[in-house]
Structure 1
Amino acid sequence: MTFTYGAYTACLQDRTLEEALDVLAAAGLTGAEINTGGFIPAPHANVDALLGGEQARREFLRVFEDRGMALTGLTVSGNPLSPLPTEGIGHAQDLRRTIELAGKIGVRDVVAMSGTPGTDPGARYPAWIVNPWNGIDLEILQYQWSVAVPLWREIDALARQHDVQIAFEMHPRNLVFSPPTFEQFLDRVEPTNIGVNLDPSHLFWQQMEPIDCIERLGTRITHVHAKDTAVLPGAATRGVLDTAFDPVPEDPAQRTPTGIGHYCSTWPEDPAWRFVALGEGHDVEYWTRFLTALAAVNPDLHVNIEHEDAAFGQVEGLERGARTLLEAAERAQA
């Protein structure tokens, strides 16, 4: 097993790239994943400058080399299929530019989302179809796939041209949010350079078992996010598709960040689930089995902590996650 263990640096947006890498190194991690567009800004990578000159790219990579850190992924999670003028076209362009940049700096993995179109050509907002047991929703899905397939065939060809592997995060509110929907994507698009970013937090949220998903997806898994979810007692009466949320709090101190400049709606008092620091939802023994299952299908993966637990500070959450992940890695190697 030759995994690289690192973290996604978006949670350290208030630090310079150098400072963020120092935090990761101090936690015992050896890899870093950097945001380059999509829903949140890119504080640790000036994409324009990096695309514009070889010198800028050399200086950027030297920051990692000087700290003994590997650059293990570029993330551009957005909605490239959205009808919203603030999302679709811009996010698709961010994705194209990220693929080009990854090719120029020798980064294999680009993390993305499959996206969600609207319901029809005149739609103003994206619409996630969750359970199309009636005919109307199936008609919407047929339209959405008709939008998605041409774009993703184009993007797949671009990734192939630059020798880059796109890894879809199977995230709710996207066309691809589970192993079966990824398999539908495979059948429709027939990609050569698009696989899966195995993020267990979104699978736990949907009441899936990530280890079973690993076994089903197999070698289609090309990247991993180490992120945890706790399913809470509220799920007994709310279910995990709960809509009882309120707007983002007026008081900034009460807000839960989801990225740079983005915040969660206000959660119910007894929520069905929450994202938690790695180890707070599932113990080291579970993550040992998780890593062992991954190694069985792909022994050469980058595994990056994604910290989104508002109960812990940026550094504290990363450190807690790193302790859990590295202990699980040690046990998996034994």
Structure 2
Amino acid sequence: MTLSYGAYTACLHDLPLGEALDVLKGAGLSGAEVNAGGFIPSPHCPVDALLASAAAREEYLGVFAEHGIALTGLNTSGNPVSPLPNEGLKHAEDIRTTIRLAGLLGVKEIVTMSGTPGTDASARYPSWVVNPWNGIDMEILDYQWSVVVPFFKEVDALARDNDVQVCLELHPRNLVFNVPSFERLIEETGATNIKVNMDPSHLFWQQMDPIAATRRLGPLVGHVHAKDTAVLPGAAYRGVLDTDFGHVPAQAEGKVPVAYGYWCNAWPQDPAWRFVAFGLGHDTEYWTEFLRAVAEVKPDMCVNIEHEDAGYGNVEGLEISAGNLLRAAAGL
């Protein structure tokens, strides 16, 4: 068994599915992960039609087979425990629906996030506690865990019934964002079908080591994203928890949605860190060791590129990332 390599097709959202798969194939990749709900649209996965028809599912899987690409994951990253009604309720149902669809398609892994509740039962907005030195913050965290634990007990049971692994991205602004918080979730839920989506990019800017985290988690790593981050000189005076972002006007083109009526903000001109094409933040030798750690956990893991480097076009950036990923893989 050997690792295989693919990409998350969200960066190719403007291409029809077949054309997106051809881009992946041309870049030397063999797998694809597609979006099925959560923060962003899902142009490559007609969820309702696929749930409704076995013939539609057969035809859909046939598109992947025709292009020589395996469907290796469904993504529904969002905030399923948000108090915002157009965010939390929708994203929670997206997770349930995606689990069922994955089971029907024979896809073994879905990617999502733990989400972030509000401060209490009356809160209107999600609230992420960054550093709970204040006793009030512990009360907030206690409440948030009381929301997240029962939700993921339900998710785990549904995933088990559908023979699917639900893989949480350790993403800041989520209650589960690092290794200890994930370990707590498993301990308090007793989950068997909840794993980690090991995305190194968010670990880097938290000053974590993805290789060490992968080896500590071991079999709890269920999915992997190949995504890189550069920590920049701005970190010297901003720190990595900088909040110096700006509003993006509603009429702006190309804005990235996160919920109905909300979208990503504008980064500062001199940020502390930013996402870069795979291999442009850390060298080939580092990534070879990362892949080695992944292979120790699961020798047949599919490692999927997630391209979010705004300095390159979507196809260009994906091709740069694929070349660097395959060079790192050659060192195994």
Structure-2-length-normalised TM-score: 0.96
Partner SS state of residue 93, structure 1? helix
2:313 is equivalent to residue 313 of structure 1: yes
Task: Check conservation: 1:179, 1:213, Cα contact below 8 A.
Answer: yes
Task: Check conservation: 1:258, 1:308, Cα contact below 8 A.
Answer: no
Task: Check conservation: 1:10, 1:260, Cα contact below 8 A.
Answer: no
In the superposition, relative to structure 1, how do residues 256 and 40 fare at CA in structure 2: closer, same or farther (>3 Å)? closer
Q: Structure 2: how far apart are the matches of 1:122 and 1:162?
A: 34
Q: Structure 2: how far apart are the matches of 1:133 and 1:177?
A: 18
The alpha-carbon deviation at position 283 of structure 1 amounts to: 1.3
- Note the residue ranges of structure 2 that are not aligned, 5 or more in a row: none
Q: Structure 1: how far apart are the matches of 2:70 and 2:104?
A: 16
The alpha-carbon deviation at position 266 of structure 1 amounts to: 1.9
1:65 counterpart residue number: 65
2:179 is equivalent to residue 179 of structure 1: yes
2:126 counterpart residue number: 126
Q: Structure 1: how far apart are the matches of 2:324 and 2:236?
A: 28
The alpha-carbon deviation at position 260 of structure 1 amounts to: 11
Q: Structure 2: how far apart are the matches of 1:108 and 1:304?
A: 14
Q: Structure 2: how far apart are the matches of 1:98 and 1:310?
A: 28
Q: Structure 1: how far apart are the matches of 2:327 and 2:223?
A: 20
CA deviation profile, 1:157-184 (whole Å, cap 9, x unmatched): 0000000001000000001100011011
Q: Structure 2: how far apart are the matches of 1:259 and 1:331?
A: 38
Q: Structure 2: how far apart are the matches of 1:59 and 1:251?
A: 38
The alpha-carbon deviation at position 300 of structure 1 amounts to: 2.2
Structural RMSD (CA): 1.6
In the superposition, relative to structure 1, how do residues 251 and 313 fare at CA in structure 2: closer, same or farther (>3 Å)? farther
Q: Structure 1: how far apart are the matches of 2:29 and 2:320?
A: 12
Partner SS state of residue 201, structure 1? helix
Q: How does 1:257-272 map onto structure 2 within 5 Å?
A: 257=256, 264-272=264-272
Q: How does 1:1-334 map onto structure 2 within 5 Å?
A: 2-248=2-248, 252=252, 257=256, 264-332=264-332
Q: Structure 2: how far apart are the matches of 1:286 and 1:305?
A: 16
Partner SS state of residue 39, structure 2? coil
In the superposition, relative to structure 1, how do residues 276 and 249 fare at CA in structure 2: closer, same or farther (>3 Å)? farther
The alpha-carbon deviation at position 256 of structure 1 amounts to: 6.7
In the superposition, relative to structure 1, how do residues 84 and 286 fare at CA in structure 2: closer, same or farther (>3 Å)? same
Q: Structure 2: how far apart are the matches of 1:76 and 1:9?
A: 13
CA deviation profile, 1:170-227 (whole Å, cap 9, x unmatched): 0000011000110111111110000000000000011111111111111100100000
Q: Structure 2: how far apart are the matches of 1:78 and 1:184?
A: 20
Task: Check conservation: 1:11, 1:259, Cα contact below 8 A.
Answer: no
Partner SS state of residue 72, structure 2? strand
The alpha-carbon deviation at position 264 of structure 1 amounts to: 3.4
Structure-1-length-normalised TM-score: 0.96
The alpha-carbon deviation at position 271 of structure 1 amounts to: 0.8
Q: Structure 2: how far apart are the matches of 1:159 and 1:282?
A: 35
Q: Structure 2: how far apart are the matches of 1:208 and 1:19?
A: 36
